[in-house]
Structure 1
Amino acid sequence: MNIMTGPLNGLTFIELAGIGPGPFCGMMLADMGATVIRIDRPGGNPHSAIGHTVLFRNRQNLAVDLKSAEGIETVLKLCETADGLFEGFRPGVTERLGVGPEQCLARNPKLVYGRMT
Structure 2
Amino acid sequence: MAALLVTSLPPALLGFMRLSNLAPDAATLSSYLPFRIDYPVPEWGRDLFAAARAYAAGYQPGDGPLLSRGIGRAGQILAGTARQCGLRLRPAMLEPGPEGWHVRARCWTKGPPLA
User: TM-score, structure 2 length as denominator?
Assistant: 0.31
The structure richer in strand per residue is 1
Q: More relative contact order in 1 or in 2 (CA 8 Å, sep 6+)? A: 2
Larger Rg: 2
The structure richer in helix per residue is 2
